[in-house]
Homo-oligomer: A and B are copies of this chain.
Amino acid sequence: MSDTILSQFTSYLQAKSLGKLPANLYTPVDYILEIGGKRFRPVLLLLAHGLFNDKVDQALPAALAMEVFHNFTLLHDDIMDEAPLRRGRETVHHKFGLNAGILSGDVMMIKAFELLLESPVSSEIKENIIRLFALTGRQVCEGQQLDMDFEQREDVQLSEYLQMIEWKTAVLIAASLEIGAQLGGAGKADATHLYEFGRNMGLAFQVQDDLLDTFGDPEKFGKRPGGDILQNKKTFLILRGLELAAPSERQALQNLYFRPSLDEQQKIEAVRDWFSRLGVQEQAQAAQQQYQEAAFAHLDAVQAPEAKKRKLANLAESLIIRDV
């Protein structure tokens, strides 16, 4: 089960120090890594590795590399987004200052490369995984830039949005799976299928996030829906809505969404009315469904024991919310 994998990863993380001195550099690193999170990327890496190889230990440094890289992006993104809180705790730059947020983030990114190099595999495989990791890291930066660019634009197209979420979140999930597979000894075809499994799951989760934020049941998710609408955020929903709207009504929806004159609750309801009339929710559900199906088709195609693939499928399915 992926619970065992998670606890193996957690033990490894706790035992492993990324560095001690200078303390002002590494204390923020320990702080952000201890705050936790789902450890989704390392677990995926270890499960993908486990499809081909029983020696979990061999993949632990690379699993930690993905978690460290992900947390590096959180440190820098939180500065760029001016976020005071992360997972209910103070963000690093709020607690330790801007310079700590920048420099501790930098050292985490470098440390991720060093962790990958700890993997006990041939230089050829190391070269492959470092090449994929660096490409992925660059795409994550490009996705973050697009995300920031989009805040300044009203003419964002749905296709651009999909590119942004692919780079900002899906490729790191995909790379975690492919790196796990490569470390485990998978062939190129299987490694690519796992990459595509992750990329499509990442896209599905992101569309689901957009759906939940607007249509989620507050009793189930403990969160009042409509946050994205109130922040005028570009999401799958509004961008698809603007595509679906007749040319004559597009400006009205744009004005309502980006230059609202209503109070908060009125704006949420008015936008949801538009979405209902245009069939946006159903289209987003269909898109999510398509990504999921593509993901599972790639997983099916992987040449590995079904029982082991089932763990990856179960983990992915546990994150799928069926009723939005």
Contact = CB atoms under 8 A, between A and B. Distances in A.
B117 A99 contact: no
Interface string A103-144: 101110111011001000011101100110011011001101
Q: Of residues A80, A98, A103, A114, which shows the largest number of chain B Cβ atoms within 10 Å of its Cβ?
A: A103
Given A102-B76, A106-B76, A123-B126, A24 B145 contact: yes
Given A102-B80, A145-B24, A148-B99, A110 B107 contact: no
B134 A117 contact: yes
Nearest to A115: B134
A76 B106 CA distance: 9
Nearest to A114: B134
Interface in A216-247: none
Given A122-B123, A123-B124, A124-B123, A145 B103 contact: yes
A146 interface: yes
Given A102-B80, A106-B76, A25 B142 contact: yes
Interface string A78-93: 0110000000000000
Contacts of A109: 106, 109-110
Contacts of A138: 19, 107, 110-111, 114
9 contacts: A24-B145, A24-B149, A25-B141, A25-B142, A25-B145, A79-B99, A80-B102, A123-B124, A123-B127
